[in-house]
């Protein structure tokens, strides 16, 4: 598992000897572990909710052992690293004392030693010891280095050795220092990792101190150039750390905004009283979680605090959604009971031969079915199939009975074929209204003709509908008139179909589905309106969104008008 991979990485880091430079790597591993853990736990929550909606049981995976194992390894790493840091601090303090003692000793050599050989030997011992002493606390480094450099300058100035050698050394030292200053300037503009930049700077500073003195008249200029170059690099280092602090702060601010957005949305949870509401809010929460994953980490202290706040709000939301599902499921049971009673009544009519009265009774039961409302996604489809099968048992028997009337069916077939032949030779008049009136007359004539045989009914209906569709297309209607006429023609065509009951029901469901889709769009758009700040640019965005909302509302009204036109058969 990938979580175990991060634990193995932390263990591997902890086994290295020098942990002082590995703090950032451990922090990144910890952040990646926590981000992955959030995603995995979120997926478990979604699976659990999906299982609850489906009426099944889902056993969640327990990530606690993996989490405890990771943080145990991480805490061991932190403890070991702190011990090394404390040891380093102790060593740096000891090194500081040793270097101060060397400075004191060097002062005594300069002030009191009159023998050049002895003084030079003492200097060599001091300098070799100085180079072997490790790092000292950062805050003392510059002052101590300056003092040591100053004393070295005095020492070498006072040491009167062979002039030729001294002049040669001065020239050589000047060239080395100039080369080193050039390296510092190049280092300032080099594209290096921060750790490499600091490491190379310290190495060059150590190299500077190891170079001997130069002529007094050159020293001030070189010293100024050197410290200007060093300070410029330190400025670059400080800029990097400041930029890092700003990035961390921006990440925390972005995460806090997500927490605030979720908290604000949760304040309205009392008004979420339908599945549509909860599904919309679930999409919103999942989107926030996806955004969270794209945001980088902040400081460890702030990152943990804001994560706990966000996690708590997400847990509260999904717990509330689970409770709502339980309440709705309980309410659905009452509807299920009522619909089962209707199924039993419909099944009782299955063997009836009272075609007229029984058909009326079944249609009444169908209207009651619609009025009761939905039993929810878990039950509705299964109940509807049972109810529809019970109704179809009677209507299929009735249809079989009437199909036995061959003579009447033959007459009807002759009439319909004659009407289709007349329609095929019919030419549209130039006047659209007259054309529409004649097409409606053809439709009414076709609808008025009784049924035909089972084998012929679909072919005659298809031939008639195909020709009617072609004629309506030839009218080249536009805009709302086109939509109205085409829908009316479609409706009349459905009424003429041998399977009109099923087709009309399917048309109702399709229109309701379009209405639901538009209402979801409106809900999302209205939510988006609340995200725009009160600024000049946001005002235009709000106007655009409002136009979309108004257009969707207008479409819904048109669809509802169509719904009313469909007869309840």
pLDDT value at 283 more than 60: yes
Helices (H), 113-137: 116-132
What does the pLDDT read at residue 31?
A: 92
The average confidence (pLDDT) of the chain is: 79
Would you state the pLDDT for residue 162? 42
pLDDT the model gives residue 330: 63
Percent of the chain scored above 90 by pLDDT? 1
Where is average pLDDT lowest: 62-71, 113-122, 191-200?
113-122
Q: Which of 12-21, 93-102, 160-169, 559-568 has the lowest mean pLDDT?
A: 160-169
Predicted local distance difference test score (pLDDT) of residue 537: 60
Is 70 exceeded by the pLDDT of residue 288? yes
User: What is the distance between the alpha carbons of residues 507 and 564, in angstroms, rounded to a whole number?
Assistant: 12
CB 233 within 8 A of CB 197: yes
Average pLDDT score over residue span 421-435: 82
More confident: 536 or 152: 152
Tell me what pLDDT residue 498 has.
65
Q: Which residues contact 423 (CB under 8 A, 6 or more apart)?
A: 442, 464, 467, 468, 471
pLDDT of residue 484: 60
* pLDDT, mean of residues 385-392: 83
| Residue carrying structure tokens 């601010």 | 253
- First-residue to last-residue Cα distance in the chain: 59
With CA atoms as reference, report the closest residue to 215 among 275, 174, 276. Answer: 174
Please tell me which residue, 534 or 194, carries the higher pLDDT value.
Answer: 194
Instruction: Give the residue-averaged pLDDT of 404-414.
Output: 75
The predicted-structure confidence for 221-244, as pLDDT tens digits, reads as follows: 888 888 988 888 888 778 777 777
The C-alpha atoms of residue 226 and residue 184 are separated, in whole angstroms, by 8
Checking if the pLDDT of 255 tops 70, the result is yes
Which residues are CB-contacts of 310 (< 8 A; sequence separation ≥ 6)? 255, 258, 259, 262, 292
- Which of 473, 499, 496 is CA-nearest to residue 416? 496
Residue 479: per-residue pLDDT: 55
pTM above 0.75, yes or no: no
Do residues 422 and 466 make contact, with C-beta atoms less than 8 angstroms apart? Answer: no
Q: What is the pLDDT of residues 429-470, one digit of tens each?
A: 878 778 778 877 877 787 778 777 777 878 887 887 788 778
pLDDT for residue 535 is more than 60: no
């Amino acid at each position: 598992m990938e979580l175990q991979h991060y634990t193995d990485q932390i263990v591997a880091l902890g086994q290295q000897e020098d942990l002082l430079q590995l703090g950032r790597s451990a922090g990144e591993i910890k952040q990646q572990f926590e981000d992955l853990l959030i995603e995995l736990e979120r997926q478990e929550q979604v699976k659990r909710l999906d299982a609850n909606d489906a009426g099944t049981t889902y056993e969640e995976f327990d990530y606690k052992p993996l989490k405890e194992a990771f943080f145990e390894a991480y805490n061991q790493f932190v403890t070991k690293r702190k011990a090394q840091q404390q040891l380093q601090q102790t060593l740096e303090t000891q090194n500081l004392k040793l270097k101060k003692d060397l400075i004191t000793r060097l002062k005594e050599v300069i002030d009191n030693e009159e023998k050049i050989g002895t003084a030079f030997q003492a200097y060599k011992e001091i300098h070799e010891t100085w180079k072997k002493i490790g790092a000292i606390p950062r805050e003392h480094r510059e002052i101590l280095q300056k003092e040591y450099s100053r004393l070295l300058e005095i020492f070498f100035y006072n040491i009167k050795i062979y002039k030729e050698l001294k002049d040669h050394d001065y020239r050589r030292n000047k060239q080395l220092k100039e080369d080193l200053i050039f390296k510092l300037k190049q280092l300032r503009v080099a594209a290096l990792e921060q750790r490499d930049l600091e490491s190379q700077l310290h190495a060059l500073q150590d190299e500077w101190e190891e170079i001997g003195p130069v002529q007094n008249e050159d020293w001030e200029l070189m010293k100024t150039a050197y410290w200007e170059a060093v300070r410029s690099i330190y400025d670059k280092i400080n800029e990097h750390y400041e930029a890092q602090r700003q990035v961390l702060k921006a990440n925390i601010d972005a995460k806090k905004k997500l927490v605030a957005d979720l908290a604000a949305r949760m304040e309205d949870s009392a008004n979420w009283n339908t599945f549509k509401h909860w599904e919309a809010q679930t999409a919103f929460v999942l989107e926030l979680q996806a955004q969270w994953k794209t945001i980088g980490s902040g400081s460890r202290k702030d990152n943990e605090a804001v994560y706990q706040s966000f996690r708590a709000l997400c847990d509260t939301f999904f717990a509330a959604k689970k409770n709502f599902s339980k309440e709705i499921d309980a309410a659905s049971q009452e509807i299920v009971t009522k619909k089962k009673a209707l199924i039993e009544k419909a099944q009782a009519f299955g063997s009836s031969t009272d075609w007229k009265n029984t058909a009326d009774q079944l249609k009444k039961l169908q209207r009651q079915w619609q009025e009761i409302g939905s039993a929810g996604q878990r039950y509705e489809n299964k109940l509807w199939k049972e109810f529809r099968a019970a109704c179809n048992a009677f209507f299929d028997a009735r249809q079989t009975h009437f199909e036995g009337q061959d003579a009447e069916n033959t007459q009807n077939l002759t009439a319909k074929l004659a009407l289709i032949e007349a329609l095929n030779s019919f030419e549209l008049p130039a006047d659209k209204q007259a054309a529409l009136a004649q097409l409606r007359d053809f439709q009414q004539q076709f609808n008025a003709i009784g049924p035909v045989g089972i084998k012929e009914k679909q072919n005659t209906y298809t031939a008639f509908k195909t020709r009617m569709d072609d004629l309506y297309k030839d009218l080249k209607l536009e805009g709302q008139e086109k939509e109205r006429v085409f829908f009316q023609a479609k409706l009349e065509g459905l009424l003429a179909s041998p399977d009109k009951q099923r087709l009309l029901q399917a048309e109702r469901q399709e229109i309701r589905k379009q209405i639901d889709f538009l209402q979801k769009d409106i809900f999302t758009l209205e939510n988006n309106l609340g995200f725009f700040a009160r600024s000049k640019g946001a005002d235009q965005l709000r106007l655009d969104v409002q136009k979309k909302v108004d257009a969707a509302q207008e479409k819904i009204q048109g669809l509802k008008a169509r719904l009313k036109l469909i007869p309840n058969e």
